[in-house]
Amino acid sequence: MNWLTYEGDKFSTSRQRGVFTGEALTLFPADYWRYTLFCMMPETSDTDFYFSAMAQVINKDLADNLGNFINRLVTLIVTNFDGVLPAGYSADPALSEALAQDVAEFDHQMQLLEFRKAGAVMRRVWTRGNEYITHQQHWRRVKIDPLASAQVLKNCLGLLRVYSCVLAPIAPGIAARIRAILPVDGAVWPSARAAL
């Protein structure tokens, strides 16, 4: 059996060594703890918890990767389409196929209780979203063909919906916040600050 340790030693309530639920939730939101512990799960060896490692996970994964994707997407929709994308949708077959494979792999790893591997797949999907926006060069495409540009952004909305589903068992609060900003029936997008 593998253990989660605290800064080089065992957790101990009698020695007041560690951070425990009552205190933890005053320091950071529950979803930050849930996501960090999901990523640090001691599956094949002991894992040592450090607050600096938690900060790195939160900043790199949730802010720089996922948060960046959401911010870019919302900003592009608001800036270029006044928050309302035109009707119609055409899925990107290559993106859809890659996403289907990733989701199947994520599901498989979750069923095996290999959470670190599932987390790696999830981060890969978030990275795929950022790379997709960059590769599609929306900033050029929107000037030449706004409808094609809108399709790129709609594909990104599809990614965002999947992200919320994948995150739901790990960080349900963040997943709910993502779902809350997804447009429904032509709703206007909020500012990017409403996302994460």
Q: What is the CATH number of the domain that holds 27?
A: 1.10.730.10
Q: Is the pLDDT of residue 44 over 70?
A: yes
The CA distance from 112 to 66, in Å, is 25
Q: Taking residues 169-176, what's their average pLDDT?
A: 95
Of residues 151 and 11, more confidently modeled: 151
Q: Taking residues 151-165, what's their average pLDDT?
A: 92
pLDDT value of residue 183: 67
Contacts of 77-82 spanning 24+ positions with Cβ under 8 A: 77/153, 77/189, 78/189, 78/191, 78/192, 80/138, 80/142, 80/146, 80/149, 81/146, 81/150, 81/153, 82/188
- Tell me how crowded residue 108 is: count the other CB atoms within 10 A of its CB: 13
- Domain range for residue 165? 4-194
| Domain total in the chain | 1
- Kindly report the pTM of this predicted structure: 0.85
The CA distance from 53 to 67, in Å, is 19
Q: Shortest CA distance to 79 belongs to which of 144, 157, 139?
A: 139
Residue with tokens 């005053």: 26
pLDDT value of residue 167: 94
Q: Taking residues 47-72, what's their average pLDDT?
A: 93
